[in-house]
Amino acid sequence: MCRMPATPTPSDPEGRFRRPDASMSLLTTVMEHSLDDGYAEAARARGAEGSSRLPTTAKGRMVLALGLALATVVVTVGAVNTHAAAPVLAKERDALVSRVNEANAAVDALQRQVEEDRDEVERAQDAALQTGDDGGAAELAARTGTGAITGPGVKLVIDDASGSGSGGNVSDPRSGGGYGKNGRVKDHDLQYAVNGLWLAGAEAVSVNGQRLTALSAIRAAGDAILVDNRPLVPPYTVLAIGDGPRLAQSFQDNEGGHYLKIIQDSYGIRSTLSTQKSLTLPAAVGVTLRVAGPEPSAEPSPSPSPSPPPPQSSGSPGAARSGTPSKSARSTAKSTFTPTGTGAATP
């Protein structure tokens, strides 16, 4: 059985039905009368007066005509001046372009001249230094660091400790030097290692691909280590050219090897040394020849007249002359190991 909906009853006392939106009179008014009455009156007044906004009096029309004429004159004068100045600007631009092209051509010519002069200097050096079995300019460049060199040698890798090391060694070479108790490699550590390799008989040394010369410097800038003002990052790979086994053994026996052993025991700084059959060290960058001179003549100098030997002391008949150092003194001087304050020492 279907039930029919109930018939709505009038809510008004007079029996009329009320609108559903009777309680929203404000919204209803806004929707039905969106235009304000004042706007409507202004629109009706404007329509009654006419839609044209041009002045209707003679004076107003004269002012309007004068303004239009003045604007026309200004635009015309500006266009004429721009057209007249166009050729001058074009000439100035062409002149600047010509000057730039001439300057570029002059730079190219000077660059070619520099290259030709450099080639001529190299040929002159080869001709002057190529004498018999001396090796010539190539060997001299390899020994001084201005040229690449290849040969057997050793590879020394120095790296920071995996954790902070524990100090306390009474013979700690880092104590009192402002190093701090940490396991990071310092610039002085690299200086000791490089000087130890020179002392062991290395012919050429490089650190992380940076070739060391007589002008090289190993310094610190904050926590970074600089070699010739180029920052390096660990691990630090030190390559040295020389007799591999003999160079490695001599390094381990001298002060450089002892220093690395001490800082490894005290701070955990890791270092490994291995011999290599073939190493290639690049040429140093930025080395400039400053002073050059001819090799001293090999002609024998006139011998001085013989002088009587000085009297020997009666207490030591076998005493050596004061001008000749003893063998032990030479060996002591040779083994003296003092790292330079600004960088790595050369042999």
User: What pLDDT, on the 0 to 100 scale, is given for residue 119?
Assistant: 84
User: What pLDDT, on the 0 to 100 scale, is given for residue 11?
Assistant: 53
Which tens digit of pLDDT belongs to each residue from 207-262? 999 999 888 899 998 888 999 888 898 999 999 999 999 999 999 999 999 999 99
Question: In the predicted model, what is the mean pLDDT of residues 159-163?
Answer: 82
43 within domain boundaries: no
345 within domain boundaries: no
Which tens digit of pLDDT belongs to each residue from 19-69? 666 667 777 777 776 667 777 777 777 765 555 567 778 888 888 888 888
232 within domain boundaries: yes
Q: What is the pTM of this model?
A: 0.47
Q: Answer yes or no: do 184 and 265 share one domain.
A: yes
Give the residue with greater pLDDT, 344 vs 258. 258
User: What pLDDT, on the 0 to 100 scale, is given for residue 189?
Assistant: 93
Q: How many domains does the chain have?
A: 2
Chosen domain end from 266, 284, 302: 284
Report, in angstroms and rounded to the nearest whole number, the Rg of the chain calculated over CA atoms. 48
Chosen domain end from 284, 315, 338: 284
268 within domain boundaries: yes
Q: How many CB atoms lie within 10 A of CB 242?
A: 24
Q: Answer yes or no: do 110 and 152 share one domain.
A: no
Domain membership of residue 177 as a residue range:
148-284
Q: Answer yes or no: do 280 and 242 share one domain.
A: yes
User: What pLDDT, on the 0 to 100 scale, is given for residue 300?
Assistant: 55
Rounded to whole angstroms, the Cα distance separating 209 from 138 reads 20
pLDDT at 133 over 70: no
308 within domain boundaries: no
User: What pLDDT, on the 0 to 100 scale, is given for residue 316?
Assistant: 36
Q: Answer yes or no: do 114 and 153 share one domain.
A: no
The helix (H) or strand (E) run that includes residue 225 is: strand 224-227
Tell me the C-alpha to C-alpha distance, in Å, between residue 78 and each of 67, 75, 93: 17, 5, 21
Chosen domain end from 105, 121, 137: 121
Burial of 129 (0-12, 13-18, 19+ CB in 10 A): middle
Question: In the predicted model, what is the mean pLDDT of residues 115-125?
Answer: 83
User: What pLDDT, on the 0 to 100 scale, is given for residue 336?
Assistant: 36
Rounded to whole angstroms, the Cα distance separating 221 from 219 reads 7
Burial of 208 (0-12, 13-18, 19+ CB in 10 A): middle
Question: In the predicted model, what is the mean pLDDT of residues 159-172?
Answer: 57
Q: How confident is the model at residue 154 (pLDDT cuts 50, 70, 90)?
A: very high
